[in-house]
Amino acid sequence: MGQRFDPANAAELLDVVRWALSETAPLEVVGQGTKRGIGRPVEAQNVLSAAGLSGIAAYEPTELYLTAAAGTPLREIDEALAHNAQQLAFEPRDLRRALAVDGEQTIGGVVAAALSGPRRFVAGAVRDHVLGFRAVSGRGEAFKSGGNVVKNVTGYDLSKLIAGSFGTLAVMTEVTVRVAPVAQEVASLVVSDVAAADLSALFEPAAQTGSASGCVLLSSTCAAGLDLGAGPALVLRFEGDNGRAAAAEAMGKIAGRPTRLVEAEESRKLWRGLRDLQPLASRSGSLWRVALPRTALDAFLATAAIDDYLVDWAGRQVWLVAPSEITDVRGALNRAAGSDGHATLIRADENSRRSTSEFQPQAAALVALTASVRRQFDPKGILNPGRMGHDV
């Protein structure tokens, strides 16, 4: 029977990792566990939760950064930022509904899973907003990287490495993120009855306004789920000092299709739903995330032939729910984009998780390099072993 550790501070957390190292007792590393279902099931008896390390340590609105203990609930951070009309511009996705779990997302988990939201294609990914962190590596040593400022090239940029590493290199104890002002105005434009092939052409007038910060294409089933009319729908978001005017301007340039303007709070609510994959959340089947060049989108959708999909980032990211055994998602991606892209299995039943590689298989030289990086930070494989693949 494994043990569960809930350290209250970084020193206690360091002790737990040192103990695990000395006993070669692998740890499943979690915050509140909301992302436990993503990736391969971890091969560990013991659980280490960083949820007890909580609280905002520093927040400087005019310096545009916030430092918080890794277990700080994201909700608490969002509230503090909202008080100053600021936000996390990378718009982290909240997949609790899609993964059918309870609990709070923590900032450490947000960084570890690196699920960037709809604004990513204009504002950058999670990794672009992590300025620095403190962590305990699998070597049982506490270390830090980065700082509080954006302009910083002092030493290797380990913040990039820790973001998206799913706790397999080190357990974060503190994170410093970049924060950004909330736009004065937000408005959205819903274009109904579109085809996937039209996405680029329809997005063009929006891109020209310079204010487009969201571009999502929904399959017919997903559009219907959000009451956005018949057929596939395109949802465009405009943010800025003149977001409303920009939306209206783009609407004027899209001829011959039903369009509707969605404003203010209604628009914000719509985008929270899109961010959190609301139209896909309740569909049964395997949930996949696909990254691809936008020019490969049509071919991918045609080949994959799935009904339930949400295309984000102006055609560069696809979320889809596929009947588990039928759809060869990676095969479709390969035919559409060659090796330029990747598909990650985000949610699936136990059998599918064990029979499919959750992360995109990599070229041999990269597999070796990745395993080598892992060994340098966690030589005995005590942190989330197996989470990102057999060697990682």
In angstroms, the CA 376 to CA 271 distance is 40
Residue number with CB closer to other proteins (3 or 355): 3
Question: Which residues, in sequence order, are CB contacts of 219 under 8 Å at separation 6+?
Answer: 232, 306, 307, 308, 309, 310
Contact 55, 44 (CB under 8 A): no
Question: Smallest distance, Å, CB 320 to other proteins?
Answer: 16
Cα–Cα distances in angstroms (integers) from residue 167 to residues 202, 292, 382, in the given order: 40, 25, 10
**CB nearer to other proteins: pick between 180 and 261:** 180
Torsion of CA 36, 40, 41, 47, to 10 degrees: -60
Asked whether 387 and 40 are in contact (CB, 8 A), the reply is: yes
From CA 38, how far away is CA 46, in angstroms rounded?
Answer: 18
Closest approach of other proteins to the CB of residue 375, in Å: 7
- Which residues fall within 8 angstroms of residue 342, CB to CB, at 6 or more apart? 290, 291, 333, 359, 360
Burial of residue 366, with CB atoms counted within 10 A of its CB: 0-12 exposed, 13-18 middle, 19 or more buried = exposed
Coil, strand or helix at 16: helix
In the bound complex, what is the minimum distance in angstroms from residue 385's beta carbon to other proteins? 15
Q: Nearest distance from residue 6's CB to other proteins, in Å?
A: 6
Q: Judged by CB, which is closer to other proteins: 257, or 342?
A: 342
Site for other proteins in 28-67 (CB under 8 A): 60-64
Considering beta carbons, is residue 7 or 109 the nearer one to other proteins?
7
Stretch that binds other proteins, among 70-78, 227-235, 324-332, 376-384 (CB under 8 A): 376-384
Structure tokens at 387: 């989470």
Q: 80, 269, 53, 36: which is closest to 177 by C-alpha? A: 80
Identify which range of 9-17, 27-35, 260-268, 324-332 contacts other proteins by CB under 8 A: 9-17
Residue in 110, 228, 262, 388 binding other proteins, rule: CB under 8 A: 388
- Is residue 375 within the footprint of other proteins (CB under 8 A)? yes
Q: Give how far Cα 102 sits from Cα of 53, 96, 287, Å.
A: 19, 7, 18
Query: How many chain residues bind other proteins (CB under 8 A)?
Result: 101
Q: What angle do CA 220, 224, 228 make, to 5 degrees?
A: 100
Binding string, residues 75-114; x marks residues near other proteins by CB under 8 A: ----------x----------------------------x
Choices 27-35, 75-83, 121-129, 298-306; region in contact with other proteins by CB under 8 A: 121-129
Among 110, 119, 377, 383, binds other proteins (CB under 8 A): 377
- Residue with token string 């990676």: 330
**Contact letters for other proteins, residues 264-303 (x by CB under 8 A):** ---------------------------xxxxx--------
Give the Cα separation of 138 and 261 in Å (integer).
51
Residues in a beta bridge with 188: 237, 262
In terms of CB distance, is 228 or 251 closer to other proteins?
Answer: 251
Name the DSSP class of 73.
B
In the complex, the smallest distance separating the C-beta of residue 146 from other proteins, rounded to whole angstroms, is 8
Other Cβ atoms less than 10 A from the Cβ of 361: the count is 12
Phi/psi class of residue 210: alpha, beta or left (left: φ > 0; alpha: ψ in -120 to 50)?
A: left
Task: Report, in Å, the least distance between residue 144 CB and other proteins.
Answer: 5
Two tokens, residue 121: 């294609």
Task: Tell me the window of 20-28, 96-104, 219-227, 348-356 that interacts with other proteins (CB under 8 A).
Answer: 20-28
> Least distance in Å: CB of 373 to other proteins?
4
Footprint on residues 311-340 left by other proteins (CB under 8 A): 313, 316-317, 337, 339-340
204-263 residues near other proteins, rule: CB under 8 A: 207-211, 240-242, 245-246
Residue 224 or 299: which CB sits closer to other proteins?
Answer: 299
Judged by CB under 8 A, the stretch of 27-35, 102-110, 142-150, 215-223 that binds other proteins is: 142-150
Nearer to other proteins by Cβ, of 97 and 127: the residue is 127
Give the footprint of other proteins on residues 146-205 (CB under 8 A): 147-161, 163-165, 169, 180-182, 200
